[in-house]
Amino acid sequence: MKAKILLLTVFSALFILASCKKDEDDPVVKTTYTKDVKSIFVSKCAPCHVSGGSHPSKFDEYATAKNEIDVIIDRVNRDAGAAGFMPKNGTKLSAETIAILTKWKSDGLLEN
C-alpha cells in the first residue's frame, strides 16, 4: 500500500513538473506590423494616412508607422472631439485595437 502511495506521489510530481516545463517552452507570440498592425492602419486610418491619401504620413508604410507610433498611440487615446483626436471625424478605436498598437510598441516594433 505504501509503495502504491509513493508511486502515485512520484507520478503526480512528475506530471506537475512536466506541465510547468511545457509552459516555459511555449513561444511568446509577438505583435508584428505585417501580421497585426498594418491592417488596423489600412482600415482605420484611411483615406488620409495610407498611400494615395491626403496626409504625408503613410501608416501603411512600416518605417513611417514605426517612427510615429508614440504620436499615433497618443492621438488614438484622446477622447473623441478633443484636439488632435484620431481618426479625424471618426469613431474612437476600441480598447482592444489600441492594445494591439501598444503591444506592438512594447514588443519592439517588429516588422515581421
pLDDT in tens, 85-108: 999 999 999 999 999 999 999 999
Predicted model pTM: 0.76
Question: How far, in Å, CA of 78 to CA of 60, rounded?
Answer: 22
pLDDT confidence of residue 24: 57
Confidence of residue 17 (pLDDT cuts 50, 70, 90): low
pLDDT confidence of residue 111: 98
pLDDT in tens, 44-86: 999 999 999 999 999 999 999 999 999 999 999 999 999 999 9
Q: What count of other Cβ atoms lies within 10 Å of the Cβ of residue 33?
A: 23
| 3-state secondary structure (DSSP) of residue 25 | helix
Q: Report whether 66 contacts 25 (CB < 8 A).
A: no
